[in-house]
């Protein structure tokens, strides 16, 4: 079925019930499109999405358009008069859809695979219609209270202890930046008020993370004025986990040089290999690091932030709860329901132990935003940069309720099992190798025929990747580990089944036969 | 009609076609809710939203719940097993909806009124189903190319010149922060790499804006480590516009003290009164300020950013295009389609003249995000903090096409006319006064009976506001101007008609009769 009413070329403008004589949607001269027209088209959208969800494999997962092709198909200027929804939808199908890379496709194995589940899509639909801004409690009490409640549910699902304050941000990039800003505030340097430039009383600030940490740690430090060179990338062990002993050394060295260790970011599920930093040991290093120094305000222990944007979700599986071991010792923790918890993008959950510090870093209430309510009422705009806050809790709440704790666990468990199955196929095959442990649902591997140089292997694997991605049935991405080019298969879409993973493996082996 | 299938109490769990024996939605043990169940519920949602849009006045605009009331109605823990969509929706209607403050209600006159128009809601629905991340061109070419095209359309609608690069952020808070970060990068101080703390070679950085500028300027400066005390709030004239002569003085003074004027933020449509800073004169001050100083890299002229988050939209009305006079002289400009262009929240358009500087401030490409495409292909993750980027261009494109340039102008024009009508009613009434010019669709006014002190007037107007907002038919907010408490009526919802404004005026006068 198509979104537009009829076949493209033959449909006269404005002929349907939605059309006005001028070809625009039926609407008053100043109002919105008429509600009955909305209902008519909304149902058509819903049917189209239903078919899309039932048969996502109709579409190539990786878009096949050339650069500039979509742009060239679009008029250079906006229309002077309103156009009918039929016309718009015809263009959506003919011009936009071919240029979509289908993240909601069961063959999407690149980066981290994500899902818009049916309950999540319905949640977004309702939230778009209500269009509330959850900046203040008053501006939608239910949005604020549901957000706090849904995040407490998620905390329980993950097996974390009491004493966490959770709120939703758009992305983990922002959540991690806020955590680093809280670390800066906690250091008691009066950066909020006085800034950092032109001051002679500030030490250099240092942030520590694994060499495998996500680039958002670097971006956060850059944004906050900490500086990219002050992000210390700690070497990892053979299994790609941050080495606490080296972390300890670097903190001591930096202190000795007069620098201030501001924050340590440990990752549960790094981006390349999904390795799990030893959080408990790192927390011990962080706790110890206060002893070595003078007891000035700015010499307090570093802030410990945990990036579990992808991997943290696995803790909803009771037998995998150990992946978050030690996280309760941290100051902040981020996990993204929009990554691996079937919630449409965007939805990132940031938990902090001391919300008052985050609030001290960001709260700023001009007169026009003052309200009468006092504690325990919370105005969630106080916890971050953004004043505009979508009602993201609604979709998360609907997802958690529709699947339940056991249903969520079952899906995550299945993804991890699929990844192990794929890894076993790779391991069993001559000239192929799994190059990192598989603690979650992502496998790093490569084709490594004997007698080839590393440069040749990179070229071969790159060709394999291109060939596989050109299939239209699966989409994988790559990374580099210790300088070696490797392929990644990341399972996370809710509709992925074993047959999709098997198809990826078949394509990979076929491509290797040609590429070598 | 209700979202749930039947009347609440009598509906047995799992009795409908959507129910499984266990009461959960019908789904595989690991997959999503079945597509036909999605379609069934999706249509019900669409019908419900259709009725909501047709009769938004069924609901009180300002939620009437007490603090904690919604939270108390929600279970403390998440469900173990999945629940049926019927159950979830029954709870949505009985527990969540009463706690919603209805921003999509034609009686919403608080802060800045916003709209989720029908085409915008449909756009969000499609975007949620596709669930793409527009971080890289490759990860959805159409999302990137449509974003660039839609923002160029918007630029043309606003009558801005060529040479602007536009991309979408979530909020103006982020857009303005990015602009200030670009200013920091443009200053050539190597802040990206080296940070600002512990350096002796940096001057204090200063940001200038009107005393009526939005708090996001302050928050941006706080976040970037510039410091709140380094945001210089320039006094305004009698019409609440930044005074360029004082700006010039402050810049010269700060330079003389060895400080670096980093950026000037001018506002087109300030938050309290929607006053318009004299952008052209401010641009001249900014351009002049290079002459007074030594020609070192860091002494280049300040970056000029224009905050037109609300007011900028008015330039879609040909005869109002003058509100953006001088903006083409700026370095960056933000306007929010989610404010006054009928696009669901969130959607903020940031335009920059020198995108390479913004990119230099933020681009960071780890191996796992490298792709083969080269310029002119753009990866929009390079222009900001966030890696996750929703497909926001889709709804904006649908809104622009459905209404067309003339349709958008007609709606904005009508809102401005309504505001002038309301202002005329206030001005004509004894003891009432309009306290600021009305250049857009927002009126600042108050009840100012003779013989009352300012403290008494504040108390009276505050009581009037409470009484009016308790009506459930309209919702207004307040601000303070020169220390005086004033009321604000902001028109911006697409369904607002004269009768809603008249109802507000009737309620205000009635309340004044009681409150005095």
pLDDT one-digit tens code per residue, A318-329: 999 999 999 999
What letters, b where the CB count within 10 A reaches 16 and e where it falls short, cover A105-142?
A: bbbbbbbbbbbbbbbbbbbbbbbbbbbbbbbbbbbbbb
| CA distances for A8 relative to A51, A67, B345, angstroms | 19, 25, 31
CA distance B197 to chain A (A): 5
Q: Residue B277 and residue B274: Cα distance in Å, rounded?
A: 9
Q: What is the mean pLDDT of residues A69-89?
A: 96
If you ran DSSP here, which 8-state letter would residue A223 be given?
Answer: H
Mind spelling out the 3-state secondary structure of B307-370? ECCCHHHHHHCHHHHHHHCCHHHCCEEEECHHHHCCCCCCCEEEEECCHHHHHHHHCCCCHHHC
Q: What is the mean pLDDT of residues A275-301?
A: 79
If you ran DSSP here, which 8-state letter would residue A94 be given?
Answer: I
Do B433 and B159 touch, CB atoms closer than 8 A?
A: no
Q: What is the mean pLDDT of residues B189-202?
A: 97
Q: In chain A, what are the domain boundaries?
A: 31-62+101-116+404-516, 133-390
Q: Please give the biggest Cα pair distance in chain A.
A: 80
Q: Would you place residue B54 in the very low, low, confident or very high pLDDT band (cuts 50, 70, 90)? A: very high
Q: In what order do the strands lie in the sheet with A348-352?
A: A165-169, A348-352, A332-335, A303-307, A260-267, A205-210, A231-234
Tell me phi and psi for residue B39, to 5 degrees.
-65, -45
Q: Would you place residue A200 in the very low, low, confident or very high pLDDT band (cuts 50, 70, 90)? A: very high
Q: Residue B96 and residue B88: Cα distance in Å, rounded?
A: 10
How much is the pLDDT for A295?
Answer: 45
Q: Residue B39 and residue B41: Cα distance in Å, rounded?
A: 6
Round the average pLDDT of chain B to a whole number and report it: 93
Chain A residues in contact with B361 by the CB 8 A cut-off are: 222
B97 cis-preceded (ω within 30 degrees of 0): no
Q: Residue A441 and residue A154: Cα distance in Å, rounded?
A: 20
Beta bridge partners of A489: A443
Tell the residue number behind the tokens 């697409």, with chain if given: B494
Domain B28-62+101-116+404-516: which CATH number of 1.10.260.40, 3.30.1020.10, 3.90.1150.170, 3.40.50.920: 3.90.1150.170
pLDDT tens-digit series, residues A222-270:
999 999 999 999 999 999 999 999 999 999 999 999 999 999 999 999 9
- Best of A27, A99, A118 to disrupt the B interface by mutation (most B CBs within 10 Å)? A118
Check whether A165 has a pLDDT greater than 60: yes
Q: What is the mean pLDDT of residues A149-175?
A: 98
pLDDT tens-digit series, residues B442-484:
999 999 999 999 999 999 999 999 999 999 999 999 999 999 9
CB contact under 8 A, A131 and B125: no
Beta-sheet pairing, B231-234 with B205-210: parallel
Find the residue in A nearest to B136 (Cα): A101
B318 CB-contact burial (10 Å; exposed 0-12 / middle 13-18 / buried 19+): exposed
Check whether B9 has a pLDDT greater than 50: no
- Best of A401, A419, A461, A501 to disrupt the B interface by mutation (most B CBs within 10 Å)? A401
Q: Would you place residue A441 in the very low, low, confident or very high pLDDT band (cuts 50, 70, 90)? A: very high
How much is the pLDDT for B295?
Answer: 45
The ipTM estimated for the assembled molecules is: 0.95
Beta-sheet pairing, A231-234 with A205-210: parallel
Cβ neighbours of residue A245 closer than 8 Å, sequence gap 6 or more: none
Domain A133-390: which CATH number of 3.90.550.10, 3.40.640.10, 3.40.50.720, 3.30.460.10: 3.40.640.10
* Residue percentage of chain B with pLDDT more than 90: 88
Higher pLDDT: B367 or B265? It is B265
Residue A311, Cβ neighbours under 10 Å: how many?
28
Q: What is the mean pLDDT of residues A89-106?
A: 97
How much is the pLDDT for B21?
Answer: 38
How much is the pLDDT for A319?
Answer: 98
CA distance A114 to chain B (A): 8
Do B494 and A31 touch, CB atoms closer than 8 A?
A: yes
pLDDT tens-digit series, residues B200-244:
999 999 999 999 999 999 999 999 999 999 999 999 999 999 999
Cβ neighbours of residue B295 closer than 8 Å, sequence gap 6 or more: none
Tell me phi and psi for residue B294, to 5 degrees.
-65, 150
Cβ neighbours of residue A337 closer than 8 Å, sequence gap 6 or more: A154, A313, A343, A347, A348, A349, A396, A399
How much is the pLDDT for B300?
Answer: 80
Cβ neighbours of residue B306 closer than 8 Å, sequence gap 6 or more: B265, B266, B267, B268, B279, B312, B327, B330, B332, B333, B334
Chain A residues in contact with B228 by the CB 8 A cut-off are: 192-193, 195, 364
Find the residue in A nearest to B212 (Cα): A366
CA B232 to chain centre: 23
Chain B residues in contact with A360 by the CB 8 A cut-off are: none
Residue B359, Cβ neighbours under 10 Å: how many?
18
- Best of A138, A195, A218 to disrupt the B interface by mutation (most B CBs within 10 Å)? A195
pLDDT tens-digit series, residues A6-17:
433 222 233 333
Q: What is the mean pLDDT of residues A287-299?
A: 60
Do B379 and B371 touch, CB atoms closer than 8 A?
A: yes
DSSP symbols for A110-136: SSS-----HHHHHHHHHHHHH---TTS
Do A348 and A354 touch, CB atoms closer than 8 A?
A: no
Nearest CA-CA partner of A151 in A325, A372, A378: A378
Do A484 and A447 touch, CB atoms closer than 8 A?
A: no
How much is the pLDDT for B291?
Answer: 58
Q: Residue A215 and residue B372: Cα distance in Å, rounded?
A: 19
pLDDT tens-digit series, residues B344-366:
999 999 999 999 999 999 999 88
How much is the pLDDT for B4?
Answer: 62
> What six digits make up the tokens of B236?
């305004």
User: How many residues are given for chain A?
Assistant: 516
How much is the pLDDT for A53?
Answer: 95
B426 cis-preceded (ω within 30 degrees of 0): no
Q: Residue A67 and residue A191: Cα distance in Å, rounded?
A: 44
CB contact under 8 A, B226 and A156: no
Do B400 and B153 touch, CB atoms closer than 8 A?
A: yes
Check whether B17 has a pLDDT greater than 80: no
CA distance A93 to chain B (A): 11
How much is the pLDDT for A11?
Answer: 25
Between CA B491 and CA B502, with CA B496 as vertex, the angle to 5 degrees is: 85
pLDDT tens-digit series, residues A369-397:
888 888 789 999 999 999 999 999 999 99
SS3 content of chain B, % helix, strand, coil (to 5): 45, 15, 40
Check whether A289 has a pLDDT greater than 90: no
How much is the pLDDT for B3?
Answer: 66
Q: Residue A44 and residue A6: Cα distance in Å, rounded?
A: 12
How much is the pLDDT for A8?
Answer: 32
Beta-sheet pairing, A432-434 with A442-447: antiparallel
Between helix B393-428 and helix B498-515 the angle, nearest 10°, is 50
Cβ neighbours of residue A220 closer than 8 Å, sequence gap 6 or more: A173, A176, A177, A179, A180, B385
How much is the pLDDT for A290?
Answer: 72
Do B367 and A480 touch, CB atoms closer than 8 A?
A: yes
User: Global pTM?
Assistant: 0.95
Of A41, A87, A345, the CB nearest to B131: A345
Provide the Cα torsion A369, A374, A380, A384; round to 10°: 70
A31-62+101-116+404-516 has CATH 3.90.1150.170 classification: yes
CA distance B299 to chain A (A): 15
CA distance B105 to chain A (A): 9
């Amino acid at each position: 079925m198509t979104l537009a009413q009829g076949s493209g070329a033959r449909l006269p403008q404005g002929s349907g019930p939605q059309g006005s004589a001028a070809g625009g949607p039926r609407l008053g001269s100043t109002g919105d499109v008429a509600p009955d027209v909305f209902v008519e088209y909304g149902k058509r959208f819903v049917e189209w999405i239903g078919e899309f969800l039932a048969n996502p494999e109709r579409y190539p997962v990786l878009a096949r358009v050339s650069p500039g092709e979509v742009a060239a198909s679009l008029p250079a200027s906006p229309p002077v008069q309103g156009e009918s929804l039929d016309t718009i939808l015809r263009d959506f199908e003919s011009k936009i859809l071919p240029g979509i890379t289908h993240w909601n496709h069961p063959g999407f194995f690149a980066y981290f695979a994500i899902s818009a589940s049916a309950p999540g899509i319905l949640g977004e639909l309702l939230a778009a219609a209500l269009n509330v801004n959850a900046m203040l409690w008053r501006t939608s009490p239910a949005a604020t209270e549901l957000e706090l409640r849904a995040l407490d549910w998620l905390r329980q699902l993950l097996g974390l202890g009491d004493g966490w304050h959770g709120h939703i941000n758009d992305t983990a990039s922002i959540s991690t930046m806020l955590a680093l800003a809280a670390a800066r505030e906690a250091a008691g340097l009066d950066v909020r008020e006085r800034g950092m430039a032109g001051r002679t009383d500030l030490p250099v600030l240092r942030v520590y993370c694994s060499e495998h940490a996500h680039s958002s740690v670097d971006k956060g430090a850059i944004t906050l004025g900490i500086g990219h060179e002050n992000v210390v990338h700690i070497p990892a062990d053979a299994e790609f986990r941050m080495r606490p002993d080296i972390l300890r050394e670097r903190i001591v060295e930096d202190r000795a040089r007069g620098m201030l260790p501001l924050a340590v970011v440990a990752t549960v599920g790094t981006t390349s290999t999904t390795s799990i930093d030893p959080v408990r040991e790192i927390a011990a290093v962080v706790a110890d690091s206060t002893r070595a120094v003078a007891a000035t305000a700015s010499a307090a222990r570093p802030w410990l932030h945990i990036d579990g944007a992808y991997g943290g979700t696995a803790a909803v599986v009771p037998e995998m709860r150990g992946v978050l071991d030690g996280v309760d010792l941290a100051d902040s923790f981020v996990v993204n329901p929009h990554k691996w918890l079937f919630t449409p993008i965007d939805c990132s959950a940031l938990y902090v132990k001391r919300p008052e510090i985050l609030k001290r870093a960001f709260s700023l209430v001009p007169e026009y935003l003052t309200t009468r309510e006092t504690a325990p009422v919370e105005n969630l705009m106080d916890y971050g940069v953004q004043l505009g806050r979508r009602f993201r809790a609604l979709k998360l709440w609907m997802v958690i309720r529709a699947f339940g704790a056991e249903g969520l666990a079952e899906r995550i468990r299945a993804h991890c099992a699929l990844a192990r199955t794929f890894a076993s196929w790779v391991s069993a095959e001559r000239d192929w190798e799994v190059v990192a442990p598989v603690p979650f649902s992502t496998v790093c591997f490569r084709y490594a025929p004997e007698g080839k140089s590393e440069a040749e292997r990179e070229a071969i694997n790159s060709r394999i990747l291109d060939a596989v991605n050109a299939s239209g049935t699966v989409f994988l991405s790559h990374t580099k580990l210790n300088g070696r080019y490797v392929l990644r298969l990341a399972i996370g879409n809710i509709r992925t089944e074993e047959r999709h993973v098997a198809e990826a493996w078949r394509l990979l082996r076929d491509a290797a036969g040609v590429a070598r």
